Amino acid sequence: MNSLKNFVLILGTCFVVPTYCMVARPYAAERNRQTVRYVMEEPGSGKPFDDGALKGLSYPSAFAGDRKRGELIYAREGCVQCHTQLIRPDYAGIDQFKKGWGQDQEGKAVVATRQTIMWDYLHEDFAMLGQRRVGPDLANAGYRFKDKLNDFYLYLYAPRARKAWSTSPGYRHLFITRPKEGKGSDNALILPLNLAPEDGLEVVPSSEARALADYILGLKRDQPLPVSITGAKPESK
């Protein structure tokens, strides 16, 4: 009987201690994280954050547009199966000096980004860290698609129209083919000839595709880190 009691006690401890250390304690410590206003960093910390461009801004900055809905569509469509949003620290991989995934590496410039940290996901209900990297990491996809909305829609509509070797599935159900009215919609996709709809028709993104675009174009996780997070020592004046 005694040994059964010990057994249950030890087994219980084996569950309770790790659950406390790995789930309960981090949750209690992280749940109340707040955005940090850059301006609050200035007293005593001097440089890099008294940069005029950051005045009045907070880290991380809030979501704009229909991003919340886009985030749910991102989850629903299973994008996390192939895309991460996580840049590893430099001792754990080459993510910070990467050219990107895929075969067209040649002409690409090396883009230096910083590692993502917990705060970067503050406004998200679920951090879409991703499961595998079949496609490129999207932590900073917003920069790559800036002013290239049609490129993003083209990727969703027919990935191989953009890159012949793409192994990504298409998401045509997020688009509507409809009769053109007058000159046609400003949102209509600019498609290559072989995919163009018949005369008199146009392909437009549904409101779901537009929300997804808001979400992807808003992915920018390289805001400078406030000193209170990095723990950098204030510069002496």
> Chain centroid to CA 132: how far?
14
Among 37, 68, 98, 163, binds ligand HEC (CB under 6 A): 163
- Residue 213: exposed, middle, or buried by beta-carbon count in 10 A (0-12, 13-18, 19+)? buried
> Which range, of 21-29, 114-122, 129-137, 183-191, touches ligand HEC by CB under 6 A?
129-137
String marking each residue 51-90 x if it binds ligand HEC according to CB under 6 A: -----------------------x--xxx-xxx-------
String marking each residue 97-116 x if it binds ligand HEC according to CB under 6 A: -----x--------------
- Nearest approach in angstroms of CB 63 to ligand HEC is 16
- Residue 3: exposed, middle, or buried by beta-carbon count in 10 A (0-12, 13-18, 19+)? exposed
- Nearest approach in angstroms of CB 141 to ligand HEC is 5
Which residue, 63 or 232, has its beta carbon nearer to ligand HEC? 63
- For 217, the token pair is 């174009």
Question: What's the CA gap between 225 and 51, in Å, rounded?
Answer: 13
Note whether 77 and 171 are within 8 A (CB).
Answer: yes
Q: Does 211 participate in binding ligand HEC (rule CB under 6 A)? A: no
- For 61, the token pair is 């900055």
Q: Does 220 participate in binding ligand HEC (rule CB under 6 A)? A: no
Nearest to 62 by CA among 87, 98, 85, 36: 36
Question: What's the CA gap between 74 and 67, in Å, rounded?
Answer: 10
- Nearest approach in angstroms of CB 129 to ligand HEC is 15
Number of residues that this document lists for the chain:
237
Note whether 213 and 149 are within 8 A (CB).
Answer: yes
String marking each residue 18-47 x if it binds ligand HEC according to CB under 6 A: ------------------------------
The residue sitting closest to ligand HEC, measured at its beta carbon, is: 135
Task: Note the residues at the interface with ligand HEC (CB under 6 A).
Answer: 74, 77-79, 81-83, 102, 134-136, 138, 141, 144, 152, 155, 159, 162-163, 166-169, 171, 212, 216
